[in-house]
């Protein structure tokens, strides 16, 4: 592992210039993916652009119910923002399932997203939440839905010189909440065999008025399953609605067989987890949990 | 001092002092294998095979040799020719040819990760760059991984010309089965036919790794005059020295070997991998050379434990009395012959009274790293089969699982596995303690199941040397050649302090290099507290004899008139009767006598006794996901006498946890090319702390009368029952047989689905 140059820019503009100047440069956030990959010889960047020193890159800002999270905010740092934890418990819990406490003290949601692993834990939760990211680059800034960043395992839609500066969470309507669950053989330090994020809104009578369901590790990227969300809308999340949602989830799965689980198991688990996640989100939306 | 004293009589034995090596280890000062540095040392790296099975047509190292900074390149051509002579290789034995081929492939590579060449250079980066310049021309051969593939008609043969040993008549064609070991007695088929009930099962486990945290590492220095030095982290620097010297055709005493602290071994650090390669690199380079393995190397190229395939039938009468046991199992031995079939067979026959029995193990080679000892080598897999089948008998007869075992448990005087009668064993005491434990009768919730399993493990004694020397101030230096893996410095200090009658803190223990004390076998077979302990106690007794003699001379009486008590010589007779001389008073006068007080003792005790254990495990199975949670776990074990109870309990807990990992998620996963897909701790899933409840321990003390303090080996028995205890618990939680390990969520889920 030999890196020629390490940069620690102080502004977004500097970072963009450095990234644009070296096509083989890589952004460094927490490094919990990048450094592991470099040590294994799977990544060999010629220069490293560490974004942690850029202003607001490690902050959570709440404004009129919206949240802006710096792309290099460590996962454990999210726990310190009470408002964020209340508004988006599913996103915060997903980010805080990653690795161990030591890993999460470094690891970030920005890195989790841009590493583009189909099994990244925070990504389905962010997609379910309707999160967007602010991408900055040589051509300026653009706001992109989270689900549009990863395009295939290890690949993103970011253009040369671009990086993710912020993760943005929308205003949360009343009586709504989110949740995330994953299936792993152990209790921690593991990679999701399946991950499920659900964000939903109930009306005063407890009927679901909006729902987004997103899945990890069942396709080349995390996916949103509109049919699954639609199966919940207009229901009180009775068994029939949950079964219909689970069926939609299973139908959307295109998993692979690998050392972490068979395609059949992954598909079945996606349905099981989506149901359980929806029930947790609903209980939170009702103020019960 | 030959009979065990009642517990209350011990002053130090049975106490829990802080271990003497503790501070260095928790503060990071202790020097482990990969930490050691010596003057002028350069770095080595090893080129490893990308093929599971291939003939090496040629190796061109010229470009690597030409790279600036490269000081030496070594291939099998640099190794002396080897004979087929079998030598001790830690807890197993192997031919010199195979020991050498484990270090460096000779003509053929037998697994992905097999070493084919090595480089030493001024930096690790240069050494690694040089590896890329070595050109190996391979003729790729078909490979086999599973036992069934290896034994199939027309399977590629790993060791050409290998004829199965132990069959009569001997087969006339070579195969991948190296050996068969059988123990049989009585007419097993007739006994099964006459049994009121019989249960059969087909079982399978995967190869697993010991998972020690510290990777293999060594530094070697080989001088032009033929003398060398080796710094290693191992379970036995004498045995590793002997293996290295044998492979290199050098006198053992020319190779002074220094032990470094060891970060776990569990049987996996009883043989050589890097040592002769580092030596050859050093001789060529004229510099000391370090070699280390990465975690991936450790998984691919050290010695995991074999998987097994097994068929078993057990018969019993209506009241649960066992009538016969018939077992045949096939060890997935990895690339080299010599896996643990003998101890596997013994495991099947050691714990219960069996009027008729047939137990046969097959040693079958295939294309992954040669397997090695792993804590109670060969026993956990076989105990999984036997103890699962016993559970089926208990269920079929409606008998309590512990009662069934109590009814049939081996008692002192009953025939052991080789029909030598058992000595003072404590299996019944363990079963009774398990039955009396509140865990056994605690209520269970939905989707929960309780499993139990017993264990027999033979233990070992063997050769050890120890020295006890007194300083002029009376403080005590104990020296042994047994690496401290589980707290044995503390145990040696306790036994020496107990014997001498001095405080624990006045005894210090050194693990000496091969140039500083006589031979000791590996730390393995749960032998050190027993055998090295006997050497320490015996040497301390010799020191006491000298102290008494000198005190007698100082008192002006005969030695028979002096009593050694509480760390002092007491004059019993004559003018000075009632006076005493402390250990320091006598030691300080060494100049008036024939010199310093020191005694050395070499022993080879074979009066060790086996260990027995019973584990109770509660699991909860998520019926929708197949995830298994261990919600309660109790270990009960006959520990002889617990010299340092903390470290005995630590062994019981550690063994249980490793066994739980083996049962739940650990497995070598191979792709179609014979490549291990999970050579790292992310996907080779050992349990993490949050996966486990507190492991409860119950020490049952049935002392070994042949040891001054009653010691029996304790380190290995606790890994024997967990595979079956967990599987039996899952079987009871789901109502389904669980005959293949690991019980990963997808496998348990598939079993639940299939039963729907
Ligand atoms: C022991 C261990 C356990 C783990 N367990 C989990 C787990 O349970 N779940 C899980 O999902 N992951 C897990 N991971 C993976 C990793 O920790 C996460 O993906 C983490 O969120 C990555 O964040 P990071 O800040 O460390 O990323 P980095 O390693 O810094 O970066 C990851 C990738 O994204 C790029 N990148 C980073 N930030 C940006 C940005 N702002 N804009 C553009 N590109 C960027 C980098 O160039 C790199 O390619 C684990 C890793 C380890 C080592």
Domain presence at residue A109: yes
A26-29 LR contacts (CB < 8 Å, sep 24+):
A27/A51, A27/A114, A27/A163, A28/A52, A29/A71, A29/A72, A29/A108, A29/A110, A29/A111, A29/A114
For residues A11 and A148, membership in a common domain is answered with: yes
Nearest atom of ligand 1 to the alpha carbon of A100: 3
In angstroms, the CA B483 to CA B486 distance is 9
In this predicted structure, the answer to whether residue B281 has a pLDDT above a threshold of 60 is yes
Fold of B461-603: Aldehyde Oxidoreductase; domain 4 (3.30.365)
B700-727, pLDDT tens digit by residue? 999 999 999 999 999 999 999 999 999 9
Residues A187, A267 within the same domain: yes
Cα–Cα distance for residue pair B214/B260, rounded to 1 Å: 12
Question: Cα separation of B224 and B452, whole Å?
Answer: 59
What CATH number should be reported for the domain holding residue A88? 3.30.465.10
Indicate if the pLDDT at residue B425 is higher than 90.
yes
Q: Is the CB of A110 under 6 A from ligand 1?
A: yes
Is the CB–ligand 1 distance for residue A31 below 6 Å?
Answer: yes
Q: Is B716 assigned a catalytic role?
A: yes
Using CB atoms, pick whichever of A260, A262, A272 lies closest to residue B683: A260
pLDDT per residue, tens digit, chain A (289 aa), is: 567 799 999 999 999 999 999 999 999 999 999 999 998 889 999 999 999 999 999 999 998 999 999 999 999 999 999 999 999 999 999 999 999 999 999 999 999 999 999 999 999 999 999 999 999 999 999 999 999 999 999 999 999 999 999 999 999 999 999 999 999 999 999 999 999 999 999 999 999 999 999 999 999 999 999 999 999 999 999 999 999 999 999 999 999 888 888 999 999 999 999 999 999 999 999 999 7
The sheet with strand A5-7 has its strands ordered as A5-7, A47-50, A25-28
Q: Tell me how far apart the alpha carbons of residues B552 and B317 are, in angstroms, rounded to a whole number.
A: 67
| B388 close to B739: Cβ distance less than 8 angstroms | yes
Q: Is the CB of A123 under 6 A from ligand 1?
A: no
B663-701 burial: b if 16+ Cβ within 10 Å, else e? bbbbbbbbeeebbbebbeeebbbbbeeebbeebbbbbbb
Q: How far is CA B277 from CA A34, B46, B62, B83, B116, in A?
A: 33, 9, 19, 18, 11
- Residues 623-642, chain B, touching A (beta carbon < 8 A): 624-627
- Please give the share of chain B, as a percent, with pLDDT higher than 90: 97
| Residues A140 and A84 placed together within one structural domain of the fold | yes
Residue B190 in this model has a pLDDT that exceeds 50: yes
The structure tokens listed for A272 are 């099981």
- List, in sequence order, the alpha helices (H) in B186-319: 188-193, 237-248, 275-285, 295-301
The pLDDT, as a whole number, for residue B9 is 82
Please tell me whether the peptide bond between B169 and the residue prior to it is cis, using omega within 30 degrees of 0. Answer: yes
Hey, is B511 helix, strand or coil? Answer: strand
- Let me know whether A193 and A223 are in one domain: yes
Quote the CA–CA distance of B202 and B308 in Å, as a whole number: 11
State yes or no: cis peptide before B742, omega within 30 of 0: yes
Phi, psi (degrees; rounded to nearest 5) at A159: -85, 170
One domain, residues A200 and A275 = yes
Determine the residue of chain B that is closest to A266 in CA distance. B746
- ipTM passes above 0.90: yes
Residue A241 located in a structural domain:
yes
Chain A nearest-CA residue for B294:
A40
User: Residue B184: is it exposed, middle or buried by C-beta count within 10 angstroms (0-12/13-18/19+)?
Assistant: middle
CA distance A124 to A222: 6
- A39 and A164 housed in the same domain: yes
Q: Give the structural domain span for A62.
A: 5-117+132-169
- Interface test with chain A among B129, B131, B296, B625, by most A beta carbons within 10 Å: B625
The answer on A232 and A101 residing in a single domain is no
Q: Evaluate if residue B91 carries a pLDDT over 80.
A: no
Closest CA in chain B for residue A276: B624
**What residues of A are in contact with residue B685 (Cβ under 8 Å)?**
185-186, 190
Residue B328: C-alpha distances to residues B31, B308, B350, B528 (Å): 45, 10, 16, 32
List chain A residues with CB under 8 Å of B749.
Answer: 265, 268
> How many separate domains does chain A show?
2
- Tens digits of per-residue pLDDT, B110-162? 999 999 999 999 999 999 999 999 999 999 999 999 999 999 999 999 999 99
CB within 8 Å: B682 and A186:
no
Give B665's contacts in chain A (Cβ within 8 Å): 185-186
Contact A191 B682 (CB under 8 A): yes
Whether A143 is in a domain gets the answer yes
User: How many whole angstroms separate alpha carbon B293 and alpha carbon B102?
Assistant: 14
The Cα–Cα gap between B169 and B192 comes to 26
**Same domain for A143 and A228?**
no
Structure confidence at residue B7 (pLDDT)? 53
The model's confidence at residue B85, banded by pLDDT at 50, 70 and 90, is confident
What is the reported pLDDT for A43? 93
Whether residue A71 is contained in a domain is answered as: yes
Give the whole-angstrom CA distance, residue B39 versus residue B287: 9
Looking at residue B88, what is its pLDDT? Answer: 79
Q: Which of A186-190, A220-224, B244-248, B640-644 has the lowest mean pLDDT?
A: A186-190
Give me the mean pLDDT over the B447-470 stretch.
97
The CA-based diameter of chain A, rounded to the nearest angstrom, is 61
Residue B685 and residue A185: Cβ atoms within 8 Å?
Answer: yes
The Cα–Cα gap between B709 and B706 comes to 9
B2 falls in which pLDDT band (50, 70, 90)? very low
Is A73 near ligand 1, meaning CB less than 6 Å away?
A: no
Q: Whole-angstrom Cα distance, residue B266 to residue B214?
A: 12
Residue at A123 is within a domain: no
The candidate with the shortest Cα–Cα distance to B674, out of B334, B338, B178, is: B334
Looking at the CA of residue B682, tell me the nearest atom of ligand 1: 1
Which residue among A187, A193, A258 sits closest to B688, beta carbon to beta carbon?
A: A187
* Residue whose CA lies nearest to ligand 1 atom number 3: A99
Return mean pLDDT, chain B: 96
Q: Which residue of B has its CA nearest to A186?
A: B691
User: Both A138 and A47 in a single domain?
Assistant: yes
Residue A125 lies in a domain: no
CB contact under 8 A, B690 and A272: no
Domain membership flag for residue A259: yes
Nearest CA to ligand 1 atom 28: A31
* Class of domain B424-457+609-755 as given by CATH: alpha beta
Residue A110 resides in a domain: yes
Site to probe by mutation for ligand 1, drawn from A35, A46, A98, A142 as the one with most ligand atoms within 8 Å of Cβ, is: A98
Statement to judge: residues A182 and A144 lie in one domain: no
Sheet-wide strand order for B464-470: B507-511, B476-480, B464-470, B598-603
User: In this complex, which of B625, B664, B691 lies closest to A272 when CB atoms are compared?
Assistant: B625
Separation of alpha carbons A107 and A113, rounded Å? 11
Domain boundaries, chain B: 424-457+609-755, 461-603
Cα(A133)–Cα(B373) distance, integer angstroms: 53
Testing ligand 1's pocket by substitution, the residue of A38, A110, A123 carrying the most ligand atoms inside 8 A of its CB is A110
C-alpha torsion B683→B684→B686→B689, nearest 10: -20
| Interval between CA A154 and ligand 1 midpoint (Å) | 11
**What per-residue confidence (pLDDT) applies to B3?**
37
- B507's enclosing H/E stretch is strand B507-511
Rounded to two decimals, the pTM is: 0.96
**Does A66 lie in the same domain as A186?**
no
On whether both A204 and A232 belong to a single domain, the answer is yes
B78 Cβ neighbours under 8 A, 6+ residues apart: B280, B284
| Terminal C-alpha separation, chain B | 64
């Amino acid at each position: 592992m030999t890196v020629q140059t390490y940069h620690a820019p102080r502004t977004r503009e500097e970072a963009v210039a450095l990234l644009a100047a070296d096509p083989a440069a890589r952004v460094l956030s927490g490094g919990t993916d990048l450094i592991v990959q470099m040590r294994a010889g799977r990544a060999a960047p010629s220069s490293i652009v560490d974004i942690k020193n850029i202003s607001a890159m490690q902050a959570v800002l709440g404004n009129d119910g919206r949240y802006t999270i710096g792309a290099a905010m460590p996962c454990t740092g999210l726990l310190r923002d009470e408002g964020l934890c209340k508004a988006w418990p599913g996103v915060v819990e997903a980010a805080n399932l990653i690795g161990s406490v030591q890993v999460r003290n470094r690891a970030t949601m920005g890195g989790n997203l841009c590493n583009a692993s189909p099994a990244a834990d925070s990504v389905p939760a962010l997609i379910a939440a309707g999160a967007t990211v602010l991408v900055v680059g040589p051509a300026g800034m653009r706001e992109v839905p989270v689900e549009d960043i990863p395009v295939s395992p290890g690949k993103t839609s970011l253009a040369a010189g671009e990086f993710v500066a912020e993760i943005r969470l929308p205003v949360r309507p009343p009586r709504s909440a989110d949740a995330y669950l994953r299936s792993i053989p152990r209790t921690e330090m593991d990679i999701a065999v399946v991950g499920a994020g659900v964000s939903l809104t109930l009306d005063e009578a407890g009927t679901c008025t909006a729902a987004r369901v997103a899945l990890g590790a069942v396709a080349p990227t995390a996916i949103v399953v509109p049919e699954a969300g639609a199966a919940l809308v207009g229901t009180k999340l009775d068994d029939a609605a949950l079964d219909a949602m689970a069926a939609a989830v299973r139908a959307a799965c295109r998993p692979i067989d690998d050392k972490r689980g068979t395609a059949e198991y992954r598909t079945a688990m996606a349905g099981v987890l989506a149901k359980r996640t929806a029930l947790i989100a609903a209980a939170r939306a009702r103020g019960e949990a | 001092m030959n009979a065990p004293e009642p517990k209350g009589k011990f002053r130090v034995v049975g106490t829990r002092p802080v271990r003497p090596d503790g501070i260095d280890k928790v503060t990071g000062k202790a020097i482990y294998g990969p930490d050691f540095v010596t003057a002028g040392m350069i770095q080595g790296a090893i080129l490893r095979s990308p093929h599971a099975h291939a003939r090496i047509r040629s190796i061109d190292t010229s470009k690597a040799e030409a790279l600036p900074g490269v000081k030496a390149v070594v291939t099998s051509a640099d190794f002396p020719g080897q004979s087929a002579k079998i030598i001790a290789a830690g807890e197993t034995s192997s031919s010199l040819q195979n020991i050498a081929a484990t270090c460096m492939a000779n003509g053929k590579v037998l697994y992905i990760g097999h070493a084919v060449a090595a480089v030493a250079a001024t930096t690790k980066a240069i050494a690694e760059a040089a590896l890329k310049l070595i050109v190996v021309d391979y003729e790729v051969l078909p490979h086999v991984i599973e036992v069934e593939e290896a034994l199939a008609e027309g399977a590629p043969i790993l060791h050409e010309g290998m004829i199965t040993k132990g069959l009569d008549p001997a087969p006339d064609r070579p195969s991948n089965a190296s050996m068969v070991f059988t123990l049989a007695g009585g007419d097993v088929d007739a006994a099964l036919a006459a049994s009121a009930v019989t249960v059969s099962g087909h079982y399978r486990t995967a190869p697993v790794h010991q998972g020690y945290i510290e990777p293999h590492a060594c530094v070697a220095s080989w001088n032009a005059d033929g003398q060398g030095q080796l710094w290693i982290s191992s379970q036995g620097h004498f045995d590793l020295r002997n293996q290295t010297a044998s492979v290199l055709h050098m006198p053992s005493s020319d190779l002074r070997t220094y032990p470094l602290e060891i970060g776990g071994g569990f049987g996996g650090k009883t043989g050589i991998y890097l040592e002769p390669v580092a030596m050859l690199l050093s001789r060529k380079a004229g510099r000391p050379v370090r070699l280390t393995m990465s975690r991936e190397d450790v998984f691919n190229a050290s010695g995991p434990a074999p998987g097994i395939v097994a068929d078993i039938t057990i018969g019993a009468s209506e009241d649960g009395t066992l009538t016969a046991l018939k077992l045949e199992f096939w060890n997935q031995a990895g690339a080299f012959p010599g896996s643990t079939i003998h101890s596997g067979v013994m495991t099947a026959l050691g714990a219960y009274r069996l009027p008729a029995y047939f137990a046969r193990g097959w040693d079958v080679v295939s294309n992954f790293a040669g397997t090695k000892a792993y804590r109670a080598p060969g026993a956990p897999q076989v105990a999984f089969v036997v103890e699962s089948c016993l559970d089926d008998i208990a269920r079929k007869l409606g008998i309590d699982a512990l009662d069934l075992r109590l009814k049939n448990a081996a008692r002192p005087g009953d025939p052991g596995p080789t029909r030598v009668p058992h000595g003072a064993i404590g299996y019944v005491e363990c079963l009774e303690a398990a039955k009396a434990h509140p865990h056994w009768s605690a209520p269970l919730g939905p989707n929960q199941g309780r499993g139990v399993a017993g264990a027999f493990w033979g233990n070992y004694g063997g050769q050890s040397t120890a020295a006890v020397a007194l300083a002029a101030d009376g403080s005590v230096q104990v020296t042994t050649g047994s690496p401290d893996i589980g707290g044995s410095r503390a145990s040696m200090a306790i036994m020496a302090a107990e014997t001498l009658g001095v405080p624990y803190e006045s005894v210090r223990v050194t693990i000496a290099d091969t140039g500083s004390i006589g031979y000791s076998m590996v730390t393995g077979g749960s032998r050190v507290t027993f055998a090295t302990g006997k050497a320490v106690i015996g040497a301390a007794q010799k020191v006491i004899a000298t102290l008494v003699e000198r005190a007698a001379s100082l008192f002006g009486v005969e030695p028979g008139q002096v009593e050694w008590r509480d760390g002092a010589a007491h004059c019993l007779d004559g003018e000075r009767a009632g006076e005493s001389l402390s250990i320091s008073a006598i030691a300080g006068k060494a100049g008036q006598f024939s010199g310093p007080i020191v005694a050395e003792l070499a022993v080879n005790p074979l009066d060790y006794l086996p260990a027995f254990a019973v584990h109770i495990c509660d699991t909860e199975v998520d019926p929708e996901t197949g995830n298994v949670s261990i919600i309660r776990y109790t270990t009960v074990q006959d520990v002889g006498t617990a010299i340092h109870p903390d470290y005995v309990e630590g062994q019981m807990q550690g063994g249980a946890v490793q066994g739980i990992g083996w049962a739940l998620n650990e497995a070598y996963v191979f792709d179609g090319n014979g490549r291990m897909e999970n050579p790292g701790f992310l996907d080779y899933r050992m349990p993490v702390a949050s996966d486990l409840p507190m492991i409860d321990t119950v020490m049952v003390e049935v002392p070994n009368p042949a040891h001054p303090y009653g010691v029996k080996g304790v380190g290995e028995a606790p890994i024997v029952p967990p595979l079956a205890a967990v599987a039996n618990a899952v079987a009871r939680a789901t109502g389904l047989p669980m005959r293949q390990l690991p019980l990963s969520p997808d496998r348990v889920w598939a079993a639940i689905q299939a039963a729907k």
